[in-house]
Chains A and B, each alone.
Chain A
């Protein structure tokens, strides 16, 4: 079985003025996830360590932390992969305020997600008793972007968000694209102001790390940069209209 060293960055708002590191020794078996290790610490070594988790199957999005400097889901990270490194460094997700220990304050991220009108917008309402037609090909156009579990790893990966927390960021902009690309949706013009805004797609400089860390292969970098194309086209169309004296403003 063996053991491995786990160094957790602690921050307890009531006692601490700043974060500090605590070292634990945890068992390390072949199938033990980092989440199992954190729960082991909580149960057996130090009940005061706080972390979030629920599904332990990489779908609820609760358990994101920085592991040796990379944003990861702790339930989808395995200790066996750190045997060589010899130590696992864990801290709360980067670029976000730390509520306590490994718990980051994600309320800002959730607000960004809420801001982009992430729901199906229809102007012509469909009858209650039939479904829209949507072919598998049409669904494929947005399907990857609908797989986001809101884990915020991409926010921890984004230096632009780190610089400017007002940047709507990967998951929120991806969600806007998810609906814009849905054949049933008629709301892309309502979402356009968000894409175009200072804090929208143009704050992205295509670092691309968000897509690398995304545990669900959502590819937010692609979504955002396709948003730039859409924003450009929208700009062009508006300019054209303006020149012809038909501003839609």
Chain B
């Protein structure tokens, strides 16, 4: 077994991990910072974000308005102290990215341009054409290269956290190229491993988005918070699930049924806005959960379009004209052409809701620290308390900057205290873990990896999808338990070490199953409807008396998840109605 040591090790080279690395290097250039990722950083799924990144910049906008939108959008399940901190720092992070070279789209006079985004009452979404995440990620990666304090372990796959005396003291990783296991000791570990939407059959996520960090923490007894809240994005391509950004609607695209009717007006999001004149928070710019739910009803009513790849509705951009589409949405045009053979200039794009974003994640305090000393979590894998029951588009990219920086600084502070554990002391537990991984590599049980994965994805789609009914939820919970048992009987065919992706996928499936378990148990336990968690049959309404609380899923040794509850931090916006459509929008009772 190889052995390494660092002051801080960051798992994940996406937007959150890179920002944390830079912040740590800036706050203490003397530190040895190790950035470890199972793919080269610029492959991280931040690269796929299209639409934009929030930050108040227009004179008629305000931090309060951003706060209100976020809290109302999250159906009052956001920790308001966290939201406050977030809105105060989002713009400065966007500016920092600008200073590092991010090509934010501009107005003709050369100043920053912003676009409308779902659930935001005023335009505050910074964008870089329709490749915002791509530009943010490459800017951060390239900027990270100028800090000698940052070392990288590219294509290292983290398999386990190492805990000594109640502190997180390092981790175990596989060097994917050689297949060798490596012990890495560190004073602080930051998890920045991204989301987990690959637990679903149809999703907008890349193949690497498998909830690894969430499961790593969960297995060490750190609770996963608000895992029942999974955002379906209303506009993915049928079949592949590839995302068509919300910006397409922000720019004026409309959603219609097969006969061209803009059905959202029937779901409390109207009145119908004139073509090409999108109104913030109305119609197509309502929040994602509402739009996805509306699709579900339309599908039940048989008004959707039947395509070869399943039911869909139309996203119509034609009235924008070729020039605007080419200028603002070139990537969307390219994606539609390539993957569904539709030129958005001349035809509407078929779209349908697909699983997109995990609002929940590893529970942290508002400074990104978990309850396990030495372990921090940030980005989509974490639940810092920002998104509540439904994330507003463009808040999550902004989250990477604001909390990525915070996590880097916090870890740097801890590392400066010199709390490192001697790697030799970690050796015994590392070797025990490594032996388990080795056994999996050569496992020869009867179960097939691909079959288990597909069964899990279908079960999650059926039970923990857009609408959740009790019988199906219970069936999913049972199914996940069954799959976890069958996972112990896995048989792998490869058996070699060097770049054995079958082995890595098997480990990922283990992570996914843990995440699916936490999600389904939390979903069953939350007996209300809130944000993206909807139970129309048994609990159709929000219930603040009982469930104005975060769910905490904890792994039980040898058993299923146990769910407990944590109070939500409410400072200045008491729970109110979520208003969309033509009515005025305000956090109630302010």
In the complex they form, whether A and B have CB atoms below 8 Å apart is answered with: yes
| Complex: A133 Cα to B134 Cα, angstroms | 22
> Contact at A120–B99, with CB atoms within 8 Å?
yes
Q: For B45, list chain A residues within 8 Å (CB).
A: 54-55, 60
The closest CB in chain B to the CB of A129 belongs to B95
Q: Beta-carbon contacts of B202-214 to A below 8 Å, as 1s and 0s?
A: 0000111000000
Q: For B206, list chain A residues within 8 Å (CB).
A: 54-56, 60
In the complex, identify which listed stretch (A155-163, A178-186, A197-205) lies at the interface while the others stay far away.
Answer: A178-186
Known: A12-B498, A43-B450, A135-B110. A62 touches B101 (CB 8 A): no
Q: For B248, list chain A residues within 8 Å (CB).
A: none
| Complex: A56 Cα to B331 Cα, angstroms | 14
B492 is contacted by which of A47, A117, A122, A135 (Cβ under 8 Å)?
A: A47
> Contact at B502–A48, with CB atoms within 8 Å?
yes
* Residues of B112-134 whose CB lies within 8 A of A: 112, 131, 134
* Residues of B235-278 whose CB lies within 8 A of A: 239-240, 242-243
Q: For A13, list chain B residues within 8 Å (CB).
A: 498
> Contact at B108–A119, with CB atoms within 8 Å?
no
Known: A31-B239, A60-B45, A126-B99. A107 touches B154 (CB 8 A): yes
The interface centre, meaning the residue of B142, B242, B340, B496 with most chain A CB atoms within 10 A of its CB, is: B142
Known: A43-B450, A48-B493. A134 touches B502 (CB 8 A): no
The closest CB in chain B to the CB of A53 belongs to B207
In the complex, identify which listed stretch (A83-91, A142-150, A233-241) lies at the interface while the others stay far away.
Answer: A142-150
Q: Beta-carbon contacts of A48-77 to B below 8 Å, as 1s and 0s?
A: 101111111111111000000000000010
> Contact at B501–A50, with CB atoms within 8 Å?
yes
| Complex: A57 Cα to B338 Cα, angstroms | 9
Q: Beta-carbon contacts of B96-108 to A below 8 Å, as 1s and 0s?
A: 1011110111101
Q: Beta-carbon contacts of B42-65 to A below 8 Å, as 1s and 0s?
A: 111101100000000000000000
Q: For A117, list chain B residues within 8 Å (CB).
A: 145-146
Q: Beta-carbon contacts of B498-542 to A below 8 Å, as 1s and 0s?
A: 111110000000000000000000000000000000000000000
| Complex: A129 Cα to B88 Cα, angstroms | 12
Q: For A101, list chain B residues within 8 Å (CB).
A: 499
> Contact at A131–B100, with CB atoms within 8 Å?
no
Instruction: Determine if B135 is an interface residue (Cβ-Cβ < 8 Å).
Output: yes
Known: A110-B154, A132-B99. A48 touches B335 (CB 8 A): no
Number of A-B contacts (CB under 8 A): 157
> Contact at A58–B101, with CB atoms within 8 Å?
no
B39 is contacted by which of A62, A114, A130, A179 (Cβ under 8 Å)?
A: A62
| Complex: A118 Cα to B111 Cα, angstroms | 24
> Contact at A134–B146, with CB atoms within 8 Å?
no
Q: For A114, list chain B residues within 8 Å (CB).
A: 145
The interface centre, meaning the residue of A43, A110, A131 with most chain B CB atoms within 10 A of its CB, is: A131
Q: Beta-carbon contacts of A27-56 to B below 8 Å, as 1s and 0s?
A: 000010000000000111011101111111
Instruction: Determine if B497 is an interface residue (Cβ-Cβ < 8 Å).
Output: yes
Instruction: Determine if B459 is an interface residue (Cβ-Cβ < 8 Å).
Output: no
Q: For B98, list chain A residues within 8 Å (CB).
A: 131-132
Instruction: Determine if B92 is an interface residue (Cβ-Cβ < 8 Å).
Output: yes
> Contact at B110–A106, with CB atoms within 8 Å?
no
Q: For B297, list chain A residues within 8 Å (CB).
A: none
A182 is contacted by which of B95, B101, B108, B495 (Cβ under 8 Å)?
A: B101
* Residues of B18-58 whose CB lies within 8 A of A: 39-40, 42-45, 47-48
> Contact at B95–A130, with CB atoms within 8 Å?
yes
* Residues of B315-358 whose CB lies within 8 A of A: 331, 334-335, 338-341
> Contact at A129–B92, with CB atoms within 8 Å?
yes
| Complex: A100 Cα to B496 Cα, angstroms | 11
Instruction: Determine if A15 is an interface residue (Cβ-Cβ < 8 Å).
Output: yes
| Complex: A106 Cα to B42 Cα, angstroms | 13
Instruction: Determine if B220 is an interface residue (Cβ-Cβ < 8 Å).
Output: no
* Smallest CB separation, A100 vs chain B (Å): 4
Instruction: Determine if B143 is an interface residue (Cβ-Cβ < 8 Å).
Output: yes
The closest CB in chain B to the CB of A101 belongs to B499
Known: A15-B496, A119-B145, A129-B92. A59 touches B131 (CB 8 A): yes
> Contact at A56–B42, with CB atoms within 8 Å?
no
| Complex: A130 Cα to B335 Cα, angstroms | 34
Q: For A47, list chain B residues within 8 Å (CB).
A: 449-450, 492-494, 502
Instruction: Determine if A21 is an interface residue (Cβ-Cβ < 8 Å).
Output: no
The closest CB in chain B to the CB of A44 belongs to B450
B100 is contacted by which of A99, A119, A136 (Cβ under 8 Å)?
A: A119
Q: For A143, list chain B residues within 8 Å (CB).
A: 103
Q: For A106, list chain B residues within 8 Å (CB).
A: 40
The closest CB in chain B to the CB of A57 belongs to B242
A146 is contacted by which of B43, B135, B239, B496 (Cβ under 8 Å)?
A: B135
If A118-B145, A128-B95 are given as contacts, then 16 extra A-B residue pairs at C-beta distance below 8 Å, sorted by A number, are A12-B498, A31-B308, A31-B340, A47-B449, A47-B492, A48-B496, A54-B39, A60-B45, A119-B145, A119-B146, A134-B106, A136-B105, A143-B103, A146-B138, A150-B40, A175-B142
| 29 cross-chain CB contacts under 8 A | A12-B498, A14-B496, A15-B496, A42-B501, A43-B449, A47-B449, A48-B494, A50-B499, A52-B39, A56-B206, A56-B240, A56-B242, A57-B243, A57-B335, A60-B39, A60-B43, A62-B39, A99-B177, A99-B499, A100-B499, A101-B499, A119-B142, A122-B99, A128-B99, A129-B95, A133-B110, A146-B103, A150-B40, A179-B101
Leading 7 A-B pairs by shortest Cβ distance: A120-B101, A43-B450, A133-B110, A54-B206, A135-B110, A100-B499, A48-B494
